[in-house]
Amino acid sequence: MCEVMPVKPGFVPGLRAEVEATVDAGMQAAFDGRVIHPLYSTWSLVHHLEHAARRVLEPYLEPHEEGVGYAVEVRHLAPTPVGARVRAVAVLEAVEGNRVICRVEAYNDLEKIAEGRQVQVVLERDAFRRRIEALQQRLARQDSPAP
């Protein structure tokens, strides 16, 4: 696995990417098929923040590399209703070894609704795929009925 991501031209702190979305019914806070609040859910918020962070990293990945989510820390500061627009922003803060650290924030048309950090790790693509295949095989063996 890749331990240190080589420095790539343009991949420097301050690099920024955004994702925009309009909150729809499928993004509401819901559990067990029941809408708890008719508002933008935290899980949808985190999805959009991670998507923005992926957009920061992806153009700089080499064909033999893969970026994988490692950590997310988000404070959901304000509610956003269905129909409102959301803008998720990720800004590259640092690269530490193979960890890519982004500051993330989200806004609706009125205010900042979230802030935090998101970390991805850069791995060797083939090694990562082998790890996934091994995991899938282990799970398949676990699911097979005993003789």
Annotation marks residue 76 as catalytic: yes
Residue 127: partners with Cβ closer than 8 Å, 6 or more residues away: 1
The residue assigned the tokens 């790890």 is: 131
The tokens for 106 are: 């989200």
How much is the pLDDT for 107?
98
Place of tokens 């985190």: 46
Q: Radius of gyration over alpha carbons of the chain, in Å?
A: 18
Lowest-confidence region among 2-11, 92-101, 123-132, 135-144: 2-11
pLDDT value, residue 39 = 97
Residues 54-112: pLDDT tens digits? Answer: 999 999 999 999 999 999 999 999 999 999 999 999 999 999 999 999 999 999 999 99
CA 14 to mean position of chain CA atoms: 18
Domains of the chain, earliest start first: 16-143 (3.10.129.10)
Residue 50 among the catalytic residues? yes
CA distances from 107 to 33, 103, 118, 136 (A): 27, 14, 16, 38
User: Both tokens of residue 62?
Assistant: 């080499």
**Mean pLDDT of the 35-43 span:** 96
* Catalytic position from the list 3, 37, 42, 96: 42
17-32 residue pLDDT tens: 999 999 999 999 999 9
- Nearest alpha carbon to residue 89 among 74, 70, 99, 69: 74
Query: Is 22 one of the annotated active-site residues of the chain?
Result: no
